[in-house]
């Protein structure tokens, strides 16, 4: 039988499974017969388990940190995607106001119809918004229509929609200009161009 102090010296290695099968066998045999060494073995086993558990917790904390960083990266990535989408929408769908230098407008009168023709000259696609202009309420509480607001926007030609318009036409009868203060306003980024019954021939 091995002496107790030798067994006790070897116990940590035994618990870690580092001993030869032969030595381990001898130690197990000793433990079965010696209560003192068995108690020490139990105590050492418990504290080593605890150390392992602690190490695992640190691993888990590390993983949590990694996961938190990954989440932050994903949120940043998502925000960047949103920004790109917003910019694409802006350039392809909403557009930006057109400057006078990028637009040629011509007007003509055919019989009782006045027409304005817009042509964008910078190679971008033209998107024109038209709104009715209403005047002050009259005595019957009705807001009269007093004109039309034409706001051209320029867009990057969309790869999704293919060929797009660079020109736009709007027409209004001469009569509508002559009745009251009817006007057509062409709203450009650097100012309005206003057409009234006085300058239709331009």
34 versus 193: smaller Cβ distance to Zn ion: 34
Q: Which residues contact 5 (CB under 8 A, 6 or more apart)?
A: none
Q: Which of 37, 103, 127, 155 binds Zn ion (CB under 5 A)?
A: 37
8 versus 158: smaller Cβ distance to Zn ion: 8
> Does residue 42 touch Zn ion according to CB under 5 A?
no
Q: Specify the stretch interacting with Zn ion by CB under 5 A; choose among 1-9, 73-81, 98-106, 126-134.
A: 1-9
- Encoding tokens for residue 176? 């509508």
* In contact, 131 and 151? CB cutoff 8 Å: yes
Reported as type and span, the H/E element at residue 110 is strand 103-110
> Does residue 34 touch Zn ion according to CB under 5 A?
yes
Phi, psi of 74 (to 5 degrees): -65, -40
User: Measuring CA to CA, which residue among 202, 199, 116 is closest to residue 152?
Assistant: 116
At its nearest, how many Å lie between Zn ion and the CB of residue 1?
8
> Does residue 155 touch Zn ion according to CB under 5 A?
no
At its nearest, how many Å lie between Zn ion and the CB of residue 30?
6
> Does residue 4 touch Zn ion according to CB under 5 A?
yes
User: Looking at beta carbons, which residue is closest to Zn ion?
Assistant: 34
> Does residue 39 touch Zn ion according to CB under 5 A?
no
Q: Specify the stretch interacting with Zn ion by CB under 5 A; choose among 33-41, 67-75, 81-89, 160-168.
A: 33-41
User: Measuring CA to CA, which residue among 116, 98, 99 is closest to residue 108?
Assistant: 116
Pairing mode of beta strands 113-120, 167-173: antiparallel
In angstroms, the CA 32 to CA 26 distance is: 10
Which positions lie near Zn ion, rule CB under 5 A? 4, 34, 37
């Amino acid at each position: 039988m091995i002496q107790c102090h030798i067994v006790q010296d070897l116990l940590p290695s035994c618990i870690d499974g580092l001993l030869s099968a032969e030595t381990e066998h001898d130690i197990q045999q000793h433990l079965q017969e010696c209560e003192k060494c068995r108690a020490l073995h139990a105590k050492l086993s418990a504290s080593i388990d605890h150390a392992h558990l602690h190490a695992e917790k640190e691993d888990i904390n590390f993983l949590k940190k990694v996961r938190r960083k990954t989440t932050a990266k994903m949120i940043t990535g998502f925000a960047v995607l949103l920004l790109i989408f917003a910019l694409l929408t802006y350039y392809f769908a909403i557009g930006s106001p057109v400057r006078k230098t990028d637009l040629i407008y011509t007007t003509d009168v055919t019989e009782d119809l006045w027409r304005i023709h817009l042509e964008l000259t910078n190679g971008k696609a033209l998107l024109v918004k038209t709104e009715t202009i209403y005047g002050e309420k009259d005595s019957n509480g009705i807001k009269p229509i007093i004109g039309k607001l034409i706001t051209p926007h320029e867009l990057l030609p969309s790869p999704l929609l293919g060929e797009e318009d660079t020109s736009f036409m709007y027409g209004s009868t001469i009569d509508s200009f002559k009745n009251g203060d009817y006007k057509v306003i062409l709203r450009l980024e650097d100012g309005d161009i206003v057409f009234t019954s006085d300058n239709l021939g331009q």
